[in-house]
Amino acid sequence: MKPCLADLPLGQHAQIASIDCERRLSRRLMEMGLLPGTRVRVVRVAPLGDPIELRVRNYSLSLRRAEAAKIAVSPEDTA
């Protein structure tokens, strides 16, 4: 079982493995550039713990944890 984006530690780089959610949302995320193989990083958590902010393809995107939990990632080895 791969870890999901919602569990990724702050600052950790990872690659998206798969997106598994209702079609509208997955299509929207993919069209915004979140595709299998795309590098992402969680850069911030909102003051109240949700949503979280990602850095992907040179821009910042925020997602609720419930949505981020549907995105499986493979963390990159950090040097």
Partner 1 sequence: MSGSVSVPQVLIAGNPNCGKSTLFNALSGGNAHVGNYPGVTVERTSARVRLGAQDIELVDVPGMYSLTASSPEEQLAVNALTEANTRAVICVVDATTLQRGLYLALQLIESGVSVVVALNMMDSAERLGLHIDTERLTELFGSPVVPVVATKRRGLNDLRAALAEALEPNGGAQRATVTYPAELESNVADLIPVVARWRTETPASQLRVFALWCLLSLGEDSLRGVPDEVRRAVRDIREAAVGQGRNVDLEIISSRYAWLDDVLGQACSEHDPRPSRSERIDRVLTHPVVGLLIFAVVMFGIFEALFAGAEPLISAIESLTGFMQAQAAAILPPGVFQDLVVEGIIAGVGNVIVFAPQILMLFLFIGFLEDSGYLARVAFVIDRVMKGVGLHGKAFVPLLSGFACAVPAVMATRTIERRRDRLVTMLALPLMSCSARLPVYILVVGTVFAGQSLGWFSAGAVALFSMYTLSVLVTLAAAAVIRRTVLPGPAPTFVLEMPPYRWPSAQILWLNAWRRLRVFLVDAGTIILAMTILLWALLSFPKSAVVTEQYAAERVRIEQMASPEAEKAAALRSLDSREAAEQIGHSFGGRFGHAIEPVLRPIGFDWQIGIGIIGAFAAREVFISTLGVVFGIGEADEENTPLRQALRDARHADGTPVMTPLSGVSLMIFFLLACQCMSTIAVVRRESGSWKWPAFLFSYMTVLAYVASLAVYQGGQLLGFG
Residue ranges that bind partner 1, judged by CB under 8 A: 22-33, 35-36, 43-44, 46-51, 53, 55, 57-64, 67
In the bound state with partner 1, the residue whose beta carbon lies nearer, of 1 and 48, is 48
In the bound state with partner 1, the residue whose beta carbon lies nearer, of 35 and 72, is 35
In the bound state with partner 1, the residue whose beta carbon lies nearer, of 9 and 27, is 27
Our measurement of the distance from residue 57's CA atom to the centroid of its chain's CA atoms, rounded to an integer in Å, reads 12
Six-digit token pair at 63?
């997602």
Q: Name 1's Cβ contacts closer than 8 Å, sequence gap at least 6.
A: none
Q: How far is the CB of 69 from partner 1 (least distance, A)?
A: 13
Our measurement of the distance from residue 66's CA atom to the centroid of its chain's CA atoms, rounded to an integer in Å, reads 11
